[in-house]
Amino acid sequence: MITATQMRAARALAGIDQKTLAERAGVSLPTIQRMEASAGVVRGVVDTLMKVVQAINDSGVELIGEGQASERGGRGVRLKAPASTDG
């Protein structure tokens, strides 16, 4: 699963715009725009999502899921879980 926030951050880290990501993934620009505008987890056709994830990976950015370790290490960023408001 990939979130819209992850997708925007990955694209920014790769230094590419939405049009470039769309071209690399072989999908339309409106598809990328719709995905990035969604709230939370990106929903869509599985094949399309896989193409976008592969294009992000091919751009040198590793997507790391919730609680998942990085496969190769290296530098990067990770979104922290929000602080608990209990108590």
Q: pLDDT value at position 75?
A: 65
Average pLDDT over every residue of 25-52: 93
Residue 54 is part of a domain; what is its CATH number? 1.10.260.40
35 exposed, middle or buried (CB, 10 Å; 0-12, 13-18, 19+)? buried
In a domain, 85, yes or no: no
83 exposed, middle or buried (CB, 10 Å; 0-12, 13-18, 19+)? exposed
Q: How many domains are there within the chain?
A: 1
Range of the domain at 51: 4-58
Average pLDDT over every residue of 10-38: 96
**pTM surpassing 0.75?**
yes
Residue 87: pLDDT over 60: no
In a domain, 46, yes or no: yes
